[in-house]
Amino acid sequence: MKIALASDHGGFELKNGLRDYLSDEGYEVVDLGTESGESVDYPVYGKKCAEYVVSGQADKGIVVCGTGIGIGIAANKVHGARCAVVASETHAFFAKNHNDANLIALGERTTELEDAKLYVDTWLQTKFDGGERHARRVKLLDDM
Ligand code: RB5
């Protein structure tokens, strides 16, 4: 599985930690930036990562900013992106199981690396429920 990651400066350290973790776990990882802690604009990176996933260049995407909120909003502006802000294991599970999220957004100010690894693993290992009502709702999202 190929996973794309991107962050602004506020998510730079957590993004790098997750990139190294996922790479060690054997995933193919693409780091779309940012490349330093210098201030950048999160919409640029949320859009970049979501476009990368929606175009099929990666299977899934992880975006990180200070809270996950801004970069998650940006990712969801890209048609076909279903990006869930994840701040707990429960969020991670349902992001996949009910919403079939193809990206998740995490916050470096709100989530420690060890917790983020757990959330990412949960999201990656959970299966989409696949039941008619969830499939219908995901299709309604994609048709917007
Ligand atoms: C940047 O200071 C900060 O606003 C950003 O990382 C993010 O938290 C926005 O939602």
pTM of the model: 0.97
Percent of the chain whose predicted confidence (pLDDT) is above 90: 99
Q: Mean pLDDT throughout 48-62?
A: 98
At 70-124, the pLDDT tens digits run 999 999 999 999 999 999 999 999 999 999 999 999 999 999 999 999 999 999 9
3-state percent helix, strand, coil for the chain, nearest multiple of 5:
50, 15, 35
Measured distance CA(52)–CA(129) in Å, rounded: 25
* Residue of 71, 106, 109 to mutate, ligand 1, most atoms within 8 A of C-beta: 71
* Burial (CB count within 10 angstroms: exposed 0-12, middle 13-18, buried 19+), residue 90: exposed
What residue owns the CA closest to ligand 1's atom 4? Answer: 66
Q: Taking 90 as the threshold, does the pLDDT of residue 54 lie above it? A: yes
What residue owns the CA closest to ligand 1's atom 7? Answer: 66
Helix (H) or strand (E) holding 129: none
Q: Would you list the domain boundaries of the chain?
A: 2-143
C-alpha 134 to ligand 1 mean position (Å): 31
Helix (H) or strand (E) holding 45: helix 42-54
- What pLDDT is recorded for position 130? 82
* The two structure tokens encoding residue 8: 């602004």
**Assigned superfamily of 2-143:** Sugar-phosphate isomerase, RpiB/LacA/LacB (3.40.1400.10)
CB-side neighbour CA atoms (13 Å) of 20? 7
Which residues in the chain belong to E strands, given as ranges?
A: 2-7, 28-31, 60-65, 83-85, 103-107
